[in-house]
Amino acid sequence: MRILTITIFLVILGVTIGITYWAARRTKTASEFYTAGRQLSAAQNGFALAGDWMSAAAFLGFTGLVALYGMDGSLYAVAALVAFLSVLLLIAEPLRNTGKYTLADVIAYRMQRPQARLAAVVGTVVVNLAYLIPQMVGAGTLAKLLLGIPYSTSVVLSGVAMVLYVVFGGMLATTWVQIVKAVLLLTAAVVLVVWVLVNFRFNPVAVFDGVDSRYGAKFLAPNNYFKNPWDQISLGLGFAFGIAGLPHVMTRFYTVPDAKTARKSIIWVMFLAGGFFLATTLIGFAAAYYVGRDKILAADKGGNLALPLLAQHLGGGPGSVGGQVFLAFVSAVAFATIVAVVAGLTLSTAGAIAHDVYVNVIKSGHVTERTQVRVARISTLAVGVVAIALGLMAQGINVAVLVVLAIAVAASCNFPIVALSLFWRRFNTYGVIGGVTAGLVSAVGLAFLGPAFQGADAVFPLVNPTVISLPVGFLGAVLGTLLRRPDKAANERFDEVIFRAQTGLGAEEGSASH
């Protein structure tokens, strides 16, 4: 089985390396490295966005939460269905029209101060690293089960692969790797769902009846994981506004030629990711029914291996050829998924460090295209080392919980400053600093004091802190703004920002001056 898994994975890896080689020959300028030359179609960007969002947490963590906690776990999937609505209605078009390469570009163009850009960079880096950790944990957990190699070795190999994708191929390679991965992931999900439904004579209700007969009605009721009703509200708020603050997702809107294409990209990802997350709910309940919660917990205490174990069972069991083949395919796809998502996160983080800090703050924009690309590649190496180190320290934590932490931080510190920059004339640099600081400290602090990390000894009662930290982030932004006198220059630029955000006219000229 190990040979089979390695073979399938090497085939997928070979395809992605070929894509990286092809992309490397077309990646010379900063625009090509960060945004693939802004030439992606709506369908291409939609599949890549779906690939970004359908991560290890979706494929492994969400399924594991459903298998262990029933209907409470399914709330993660349901919340993700509507997560992109706020992006579609509020953020996608203005972001595309006012930015250049990174999320901080939107803030910096309005404020024209290095302090504002640096504050936005802090939010970007923290969110991306928080999102990177669960991907690395998923990679290590999978390889340990399937290949028998140590967890640490798997994490290091994943980090090396992601660095290669980004360093040589930039956004173009990352995009096409995401597209290939999204297609494979959707194929695996469809095969699993059809196989499950075949066993239940294509009656989805029978799946829930089977789980009810094995675990009782309580498993299909709330409060198995979310002991506090406010947790459900907090989760919904986190997804509704956190996606609009995830830098690696938002920077994808710079890869398309215009705002109309950006909007169409959202429609694509809503259908693709929406269908996928519905599938993970059914797959999670099927894993609970066929594999059993005790066996899932024995394999990994975070529940991250529920889906691979279900694939093995459906194929005929651990000792059968079919079980081994199906397990190898699903696991190889999941592993490739992790590496692809990590590549997107790495590119976004490296962009924040190279483009925002080095080019625009340290060098004040006076850098050649060749130097920009070289610094971005060096930054990628540094981010890869940090990601590997964090992945090694987070072994055994459910990856979905870690992703929700990243989304809570994004909703609390990134979304408020982006929204207020686009829609509030009075907003200023001190509001940016106050919003990032208040949102970041409250989200991270409350999360670490909560049940997700402290268990029964938790001081804060909620798994997801967004219901508290999101208002705190907005409050910090508002107070920071009002405690200082109005910034006349920033107020004057507000009219230009609104004009460009809504029409797209002058966007390329404006972004070129960042």
Q: How far apart are CA 214 and CA 198, in angstroms?
A: 20
For the CA atoms of 366, 369, 374, 378, the dihedral, rounded to the nearest 10 degrees, stands at: 60
Average pLDDT in the 152-157 region?
Answer: 83
**Whether residue 83 has pLDDT greater than 80:** no
Give tens-digit pLDDT for 457-484.
888 888 889 999 999 999 999 999 998 8
Q: Which two tokens stand for residue 155?
A: 């994490």
* Contacting residues for 385 by C-beta, under 8 A, at least 6 apart: 159
User: pLDDT grade, residue 394 (50/70/90)?
Assistant: confident
Report pLDDT for 18: 86
CA distance to 34, 60, 508, per residue, from 30 (Å) = 6, 35, 15
**Arithmetic mean of pLDDT, 429-450:** 91
List the structure tokens of 413. Answer: 């510190």
pLDDT band at residue 321 under the 50/70/90 scheme:
low
Do 229 and 13 touch, CB atoms closer than 8 A?
Answer: no
Per cent of the chain over pLDDT 90 is: 10
Q: How confident is the model at residue 442 (pLDDT cuts 50, 70, 90)?
A: very high
pLDDT-derived band of residue 417, with 50, 70 and 90 as boundaries?
A: very high
Say whether pLDDT at 433 is over 80: yes
The predicted structure's pLDDT at residue 311: 82
Domain ranges of the chain: 2-512
Both structure tokens of 215: 């675990």
Token reading at 196: 């499950």
Lowest mean pLDDT segment, chosen from 190-199, 275-284, 321-330, 477-486:
321-330
Q: What is the DSSP string of 23-64?
A: HHTT--SHHHHHHGGG---HHHHHHHHHHHHS-HIIIIIIHH
What is the C-alpha separation between 373 and 264, in angstroms, rounded?
29
* Cα within 13 Å of Cα(168), Cβ side: 17
113 Cβ contact list (under 8 Å, min separation 6):
429
Q: What is the 3-state secondary structure (H, E, C) of 480-501?
A: HHHCCCCCHHHHHHHHHHHHHH
Do 146 and 1 meet the contact criterion of CB atoms below 8 Å apart?
yes
What pLDDT digit, counting tens, does each position of 206-250 carry?
Answer: 988 999 988 888 888 877 877 778 888 888 888 888 888 888 888
320 pLDDT band, cuts 50/70/90, is low
Cα–Cα distance measured from residue 431 to residue 14, given in angstroms and rounded to the nearest whole number: 47
**Burial (0-12, 13-18, 19+ Cβ within 10 Å), 366:** exposed
Please give the CATH number for the structural domain made up of 2-512.
1.20.1730.10
Report residue 506's pLDDT band, with 50, 70 and 90 as the boundaries.
low
* Arithmetic mean of pLDDT, 321-337: 72
How far, in Å, CA of 52 to CA of 60, rounded?
15
Arithmetic mean of pLDDT over the chain:
82
pLDDT at 513: 43
Of 41, 503, 89, the closest CA to residue 256 belongs to: 41
- Can you give the pLDDT at residue 475? 96
pLDDT surpasses 50 at 510: no
Q: Look at residue 509 and tell me whether its pLDDT is greater than 60.
A: no
With 50 as the cut, is the pLDDT of residue 511 above it? no
Residue 508 has pLDDT above 70, yes or no: no
* Dihedral angle sign, alpha carbons of residues 292, 296, 298, 301: negative
Q: What is the largest CA-CA distance in the chain?
A: 72
What tokens does 92 get? 């996608």
Residues 143/149, Cβ–Cβ less than 8 Å: yes
Q: Which DSSP category does 291 fall into?
A: T
pLDDT score of 514:
44
Within 10 A of 198 (CB to CB), how many other CB atoms are there?
10
pLDDT tens column, 245-301: 888 888 888 888 888 888 899 889 888 888 888 888 899 999 999 998 888 888 877
Q: Which of 158, 208, 238 is nearest to 466 (CA)?
A: 238
3-class state of residue 465 by DSSP? coil
Residue 210 CB coordination number (10 Å): 17
- 3-state SS string for 63-99: HHHHHHHCHHHHHHHHHHHCCCHHHHHHHHHHHHHHC
Measure CA 183 to chain center: 17
How far is residue 103's CA from residue 253's CA, in Å, rounded to a whole number?
10
Contacts of 370 (CB under 8 A, 6+ apart): none
Which range is most confident: 245-254, 363-372, 391-400, 463-472?
463-472
- What average pLDDT does the segment 32-48 reach? 87
Where does the pLDDT of residue 439 fall: very low under 50, low under 70, confident under 90, or very high at 90 and above?
A: very high
Identify the pLDDT of residue 471.
96
Angle at the Cα of 58 (from 121 to 393), degrees rounded to 5? 60
| Predicted pLDDT at 56 | 62
pLDDT at 30 over 70: yes
